[in-house]
């Protein structure tokens, strides 16, 4: 009996060893080879300072790197920069670069290149006002150092240097080839070099042989191919047939299906997308000019049901313009719980007991149809007839989102570490001359503007948050300028089971770290 | 038995001459017509009312074809969708046929500059791919029922004009028309009293056969998002919405898809049979 027991124990131990060995083997990182991914939309630019969309950030992250980067714990650290020194008394930030960083064209990232990058971004980027709106000028003080001089104190500059404002483009490439060439050619310091691109079809990247950080962060693949697959059903088929290793742009239904089949879903830990219904609150004579009507609309929408049923639980609900658990979230904000009776009562008090007609505008490529139909249905229940206005992409991005002159818009936009910037951009008076959503037909109250500007120029973090919390209360409870329908994750990719993201999308950064994407055996 | 009843009997005999398939087509077409007329009675659900708690519900005794993403009853939307599809199809064909027949009559009877002008316009429109033409007109006319009817009827004009033009050119060579002209009978009387009635059976067959293709075209436009807009139910947009769930909820796309298939097939078969019954000489020509 003892002998049998001993044999059994021995067998179990041997099997366990095999099991452990196979686990270790299963997680072994494969270096080299090719990874093939796909996105739903192609990029509009290859120049670092023109990058805006999630797809552009993904497609150009192999080539470009930022001055600052979040570490694995979510702390902002210098990356291409060696240090970033803030001097509030003198309204300056000093950026000192690491020595020895080179672009893929062989030129050096030095003070001249950094100064040119900053000045070029301030002059030519569409998001210049968001990131460098408070910058007065830049000054090169030595071969590796540039000082940012501010007009007013801005707590968000370090976060901007983690974003597109912190991306470095080769000055040599610009000087030799000119502005227009740069719009179509990516030349950065990153681990990969773009070797081929065919619009709306694919891009190819190869390992940068002179990558400055190859020892610490080696490129995990020899080659990357990034395809464009606009249709999610085709993308799903491509993933199932292993034609592609990952996909950016899947809808929630596709994520739900593939996740249940063992595919990996990764999302960013800092960046979220808010689907915000913004009211044309400053349009004279419009029912939406009455705060009670806006509040009624907010009460009439069941965001929990939308998140659970339309998004398969892959989005979540927040009662304000911030995500619970982040410092920007204010527990003082009451928000609007789904309450049809309350909505009807507010409409009656506002003089619209039988409702009224209005419209919701949205960009046709935003894939928000599921929300639009739900909003239309919910508002119909309180007597508000909604026309759904789908605007062509070019019209929407250049005009509609800012200048729609009546009704509401439904806009999805990302935010994360730079929430103060985003709030200032959209809700302060600065929004009117900048790129604020519904900038001409939305209210920009004085007290909200004051709170936002105080947050932007706060002396310390506590003051910034205190003002931001007040701004949240004003945006949602006091003026009801918009209603957060649901929140989604800012960047999400779905990968084959053998493709692991250890900080590619699944980290705190706005730009993606391709060296953290790898294949396992 | 009167002469008239013999004529009717002969018509019906030829009409149903192909046997079972025509009976089935007539039954299906009749069923969808009844669905469209009595949609309010047949369904206890509002086709546009959302109920997210029923999102993607499977077929059950409560919802025989299940529910779509927004929890709307698919059966109710099929019934109301039949109404929309048929209304648009019939109205488009009527508008297209009336305008097309009038222009064809004028072009064929008057010939000369006006006739040339009309026929060159027809050539011009035929040079543009029909789907592209309809999409452009549809987008210009607006995403509503009027816009869709306008686009679809505009799209079918060349067919009606050319057919009518050919018929009139042939009919007006007949002695009785020449005699009427010599008798100084007013032109409008010749056109409306003699040419139109003689061309009518052929035009009726074309009209019927166009019903099916118009339903198809309407569904295609709605599938592409150019047709009837949300929340109004339309079979094409139902296929478009359900297509994303083809792996998990295939009935969402298949049910409206099968309805389109059945109705288009029925109208085409009935059109063929009508052609055989009205003028067997046309068999294979239309």
Together in a domain, A236 and A297: no
For residue B130, say if its preceding peptide bond is cis, omega within 30 degrees of 0.
no
| Domain annotation covers residue A43 | yes
Q: Smallest CA–CA separation between B170 and chain A, in Å? A: 49
Tell me whether residues A374 and B50 touch, CB distance under 8 A: yes
In this predicted structure, the answer to whether residue B193 has a pLDDT above a threshold of 50 is yes
* pLDDT-wise least confident of A22-31, A193-202, A370-379, B118-127: A22-31
Within 13 Å and on the Cβ side, how many CA atoms surround B28?
A: 20
pLDDT (tens digit per residue) in B79-128:
999 998 889 999 999 999 999 999 999 999 888 898 899 999 999 998 98
CATH number at residue A139: 3.90.76.10
Long-range contacts of A387-390 (CB under 8 A, 24+ apart): A387/A357, A387/A358, A387/A359, A387/A360, A388/A359, A388/A360, A388/A362, A388/B229, A388/B230, A389/A359, A389/A360, A389/A361, A389/A362, A390/A361, A390/A362, A390/A363, A390/A364, A390/B225
Nearest residue in B to A378, CA atom:
B50
| Domain annotation covers residue A2 | no
Interfacial A residues in 353-372 facing B (CB < 8 Å): 364, 369-370, 372
B contacts of A233 (beta carbons < 8 Å): 243-244, 246
A contacts of B56 (beta carbons < 8 Å): 309
The neighbour count for residue A186, using CB atoms within 10 Å, is 28
CATH number at residue A251: 3.40.190.10
Together in a domain, A361 and A287: yes
Together in a domain, A265 and A277: no
Residue A308 touches partner B, C-beta closer than 8 Å: yes
Together in a domain, A295 and A426: yes
**Which among B48, B52, B245 is the nearest to A305, CB-wise?**
B52
Reported ipTM: the value is 0.71
Distance (Å, rounded) from C-alpha A169 to C-alpha A194? 14
In this predicted structure, the answer to whether residue B28 has a pLDDT above a threshold of 90 is yes
Together in a domain, A197 and A290: no
What pLDDT shows up at residue A14?
46
| Domain annotation covers residue B83 | yes
Distance (Å, rounded) from C-alpha B145 to C-alpha A230? 29
Tell me whether residues A310 and B229 touch, CB distance under 8 A: no
Tell me whether residues B50 and A302 touch, CB distance under 8 A: no
Q: Taking residues A138-163, what's their average pLDDT?
A: 94
Q: Taking residues A300-311, what's their average pLDDT?
A: 94
Residues belonging to chain B with any Cβ–Cβ distance to chain A shorter than 8 Å: 48-50, 52-53, 55-56, 69-71, 225, 229-231, 243-248
Q: Smallest CA–CA separation between A167 and chain B, in Å? A: 38
Q: Which residue is listed with tokens 């009209």?
A: B207
Together in a domain, A331 and A383: yes
**Which among B70, B225, B244 is the nearest to A373, CB-wise?**
B70
In this predicted structure, the answer to whether residue B178 has a pLDDT above a threshold of 50 is yes
Q: Taking residues A448-469, what's their average pLDDT?
A: 91
Together in a domain, A360 and A243: no
Domain that holds residue B170: 17-40+70-282
Distance (Å, rounded) from C-alpha B22 to C-alpha A258? 46
pLDDT (tens digit per residue) in B217-271:
888 888 777 777 778 888 988 988 888 788 788 999 999 999 999 999 998 888 8
| Domain annotation covers residue B46 | no
Together in a domain, A509 and A452: no
More confident residue, A19 or A239: A239
In this predicted structure, the answer to whether residue A1 has a pLDDT above a threshold of 50 is no
B contacts of A309 (beta carbons < 8 Å): 52-53, 55-56, 69, 71
CATH number at residue B149: 1.10.3720.10
CATH number at residue A426: 3.10.105.10
Integer angstrom CA distances of residue A457 from A87, A150, B197: 13, 10, 84
In this predicted structure, the answer to whether residue A7 has a pLDDT above a threshold of 60 is no
Distance (Å, rounded) from C-alpha A198 to C-alpha A182? 16
Together in a domain, A235 and A302: no
Domain that holds residue A426: 272-489
Together in a domain, A298 and A387: yes
A contacts of B231 (beta carbons < 8 Å): 373, 376-377, 380
Tell me whether residues B69 and A380 touch, CB distance under 8 A: no
The rounded percent of chain B whose pLDDT value lies above 90 is 39
| Domain annotation covers residue A7 | no
Together in a domain, A354 and A393: yes
Together in a domain, A323 and A441: yes
Number of domains in chain A: 3
Beta-strand relationship, A223-228 and A202-207: antiparallel
What pLDDT shows up at residue A422?
86
| Domain annotation covers residue A472 | yes
* Exposure b/e, B24-43, CB count within 10 A at least 16 = b: ebbebbeebeebbeebeeeb
Nearest residue in B to A306, CA atom:
B52
Query: Which of B45, B46, B52 should we substitute to test contact with A (largest number of A Cβ atoms within 10 Å)?
Result: B52
Residue A251 touches partner B, C-beta closer than 8 Å: yes
| Domain annotation covers residue A465 | yes
What pLDDT shows up at residue B232?
87
Number of domains in chain B: 1
| Domain annotation covers residue B248 | yes
Tell me whether residues B52 and A232 touch, CB distance under 8 A: no
Q: Smallest CA–CA separation between B54 and chain A, in Å? A: 8
Residue A306 touches partner B, C-beta closer than 8 Å: yes
**Which among A257, A302, A390 is the nearest to B52, CB-wise?**
A302
What pLDDT shows up at residue A119?
97
pTM of the model: 0.74
Interfacial A residues in 189-208 facing B (CB < 8 Å): none
| Domain annotation covers residue B167 | yes
| Domain annotation covers residue A129 | yes
B contacts of A376 (beta carbons < 8 Å): 230-231
Rg of chain B taking only CA atoms, in angstroms: 22
pLDDT (tens digit per residue) in A354-406:
999 999 999 876 668 889 999 999 999 999 999 988 888 778 877 778 888 88
Nearest residue in B to A381, CA atom:
B49
Residue A310 touches partner B, C-beta closer than 8 Å: yes
Residues contacting A270, CB < 8 A, separation 6+: A70, A74, A416, A417, A490, A507, A508, A509, A510
More confident residue, A22 or A202: A202
B contacts of A310 (beta carbons < 8 Å): 52, 55, 69-70
In this predicted structure, the answer to whether residue A418 has a pLDDT above a threshold of 60 is yes
């Amino acid at each position: 009996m003892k002998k049998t027991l001993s044999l059994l124990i021995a067998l179990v131990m041997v099997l366990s060893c095999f099991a452990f060995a196979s686990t270790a083997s299963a997680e072994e990182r494969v270096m080299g080879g090719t990874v093939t991914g796909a996105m739903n939309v192609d990029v509009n630019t290859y120049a670092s300072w023109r990058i805006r969309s999630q797809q552009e950030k993904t497609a150009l992250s192999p080539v470009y790197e930022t001055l600052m980067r979040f570490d694995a714990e979510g702390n902002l650290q210098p990356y291409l920069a060696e240090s970033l020194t803030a001097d509030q008394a003198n309204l300056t930030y000093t950026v000192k670069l690491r020595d020895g960083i080179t672009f893929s064209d062989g030129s050096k990232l030095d003070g001249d290149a950094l100064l040119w990058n900053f000045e070029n971004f301030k002059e030519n980027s569409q998001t210049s006002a968001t990131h460098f709106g408070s910058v007065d000028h830049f000054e090169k003080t030595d071969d590796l150092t540039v000082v940012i001089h501010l007009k007013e104190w801005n707590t968000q500059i370090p976060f901007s240097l983690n974003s597109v404002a912190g991306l470095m483009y080769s000055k040599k490439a610009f000087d030799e080839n000119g502005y227009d060439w740069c719009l179509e050619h990516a030349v950065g310091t990153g681990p990969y070099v773009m070797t081929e691109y065919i619009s709306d079809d694919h891009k190819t990247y190869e390992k940068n042989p002179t990558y400055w950080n190859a020892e610490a962060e080696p490129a995990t693949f020899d080659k990357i191919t990034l395809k464009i697959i606009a249709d999610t059903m085709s993308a799903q088929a491509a993933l199932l047939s292993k034609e592609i290793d990952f996909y950016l742009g899947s809808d929630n239904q596709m994520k739900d299906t593939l996740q249940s089949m063992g595919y990996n879903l990764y999302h960013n830990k800092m960046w979220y997308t808010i689907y915000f219904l913004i009211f044309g609150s400053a349009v004279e004579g419009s029912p939406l000019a009455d705060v009670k009507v806006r509040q009624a609309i907010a009460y009439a929408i069941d965001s929990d049901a939308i998140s659970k049923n339309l998004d398969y639980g892959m989005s979540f609900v927040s009662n304000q313009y911030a995500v619970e658990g982040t410092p920007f979230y204010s527990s003082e904000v009451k928000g609007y719980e789904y309450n049809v009776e309350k909505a009807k009562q507010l409409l009656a008090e506002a003089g619209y007991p039988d409702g009224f007609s209005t419209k919701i505008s949205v960009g046709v490529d935003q894939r928000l149809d599921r929300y639009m139909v739900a909003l239309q249905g919910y508002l119909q229940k309180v007597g508000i007839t909604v026309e759904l206005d789908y605007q062509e992409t070019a019209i929407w991005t250049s005009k509609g989102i800012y200048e729609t002159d009546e009704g509401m818009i439904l806009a999805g936009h990302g935010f994360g570490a730079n929430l103060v910037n985003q709030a200032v951009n959209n809700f302060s008076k600065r929004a009117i001359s900048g790129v604020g959503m519904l900038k001409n037909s939305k209210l920009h109250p004085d007290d909200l503007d004051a709170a936002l500007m105080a947050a932007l120029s706060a002396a310390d973090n506590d003051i910034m948050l205190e003002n931001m919390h007040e701004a949240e209360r004003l945006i949602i409870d006091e003026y009801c300028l918009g209603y957060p329908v649901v929140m989604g994750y800012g960047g999400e990719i779905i990968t084959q089971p053998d493709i692991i993201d250890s900080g590619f999308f699944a980290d705190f950064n706005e730009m993606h770290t391709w060296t953290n994407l790898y294949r396992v055996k | 038995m009167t002469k008239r009843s013999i004529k009717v009997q002969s018509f019906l005999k030829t009409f149903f001459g192909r046997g079972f398939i025509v009976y089935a087509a007539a039954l299906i077409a009749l069923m969808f017509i009844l669905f469209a007329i009595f949609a309010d009675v047949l369904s206890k659900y509002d086709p546009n009312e959302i109920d997210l708690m029923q999102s993607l519900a499977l077929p059950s005794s409560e919802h025989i074809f299940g529910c779509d993403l927004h929890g709307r009853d698919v059966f109710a939307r099929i019934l109301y969708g039949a109404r929309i599809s048929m209304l648009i199809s019939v109205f488009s064909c009527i508008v297209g046929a009336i305008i097309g027949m009038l222009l064809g009559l004028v072009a064929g009877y008057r010939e000369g500059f006006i006739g040339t002008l009309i026929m060159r316009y027809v050539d011009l429109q035929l040079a543009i791919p029909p789907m592209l033409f309809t999409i452009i007109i549809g987008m210009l006319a607006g995403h509503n029922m009027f816009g869709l009817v306008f686009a679809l009827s505009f799209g079918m004009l060349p067919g009606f004009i050319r057919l009518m033009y050919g018929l009139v050119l042939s009919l007006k060579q007949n002695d009785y028309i020449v005699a009427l002209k010599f008798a100084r009978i007013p032109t409008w009387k010749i056109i409306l009293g003699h040419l139109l009635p003689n061309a009518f059976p052929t035009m009726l067959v074309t009209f019927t056969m166009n019903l099916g293709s118009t339903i198809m075209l309407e569904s295609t436009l709605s599938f592409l998002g150019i047709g009837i807009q949300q929340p109004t139910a339309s079979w094409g947009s139902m296929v478009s919405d359900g297509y994303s769930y083809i792996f998990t909820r295939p009935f969402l796309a298949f049910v409206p898809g099968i309805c389109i298939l059945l109705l288009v097939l029925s109208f085409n078969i009935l059109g063929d049979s009508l052609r055989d019954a009205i003028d067997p000489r046309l068999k294979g020509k239309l």
